[in-house]
Amino acid sequence: MADRDYGEFSKELKTITKQISWGIPVRKVIMDFVKRTKSWITQIVMFLLIETIDVGGGTVAMIESLARFNTMTQEVEKEKKMAVRPYVMIPYFAAILLVATTVMTLMFTAKTITVGGAESPAQNIDLDYLTSIFTTSTIVHSYLIGLVGGKISEESIAAGFKHSALLVILAVLAAKLVPMFINF
């Protein structure tokens, strides 16, 4: 069994096989493997395997039941990822819309104040200052949208950092490009 190719698991399987052949108790070998792995589903299956061996004696029926559970869990995970996949692009559209509407609103407001010609303190507004404030806030918001998008799509905050970086770049580009296409 240790000679077959199980992908990434092959290396771990060889280690487990060696440890069991040296007489190390199965419970200790599996618990050591659980500590080395990062996959929560693998940890659950290994914990259930230990309990199956301890409580059920490791009969074929018990192991088959565990294998069915593992297969069903993997299918549910795959279906969940497929169901969430269409929603991955929503944060990107949301970030572009957020930046575009903020910049357009700011430009429209500035033009309205300028055209109105009324003598008021509002005319002394520094448009560059307001633009930097609103653009910065939309970029921070885009960053947070990326964290949430990564958590939803790939179930980890680490993946959210990847989405956040892309969304920040997209937000900066949108903040620079939107004013070029808008003429009030």
Task: Over range 57-75, report the average pLDDT.
Answer: 86
pLDDT number for residue 107: 83
User: In whole angstroms, what is the distance from residue 114 CA to residue 132 CA?
Assistant: 19
For residue 154, what are the contacts with CB-CB under 8 A and spacing of at least 6? 160
Identify the CA nearest to 138 among candidates 101, 178, 181. 101
Say whether pLDDT at 46 is over 60: yes
Per-residue pLDDT band at 10 (split at 50, 70, 90): confident
Q: What is the mean pLDDT of residues 103-115?
A: 80
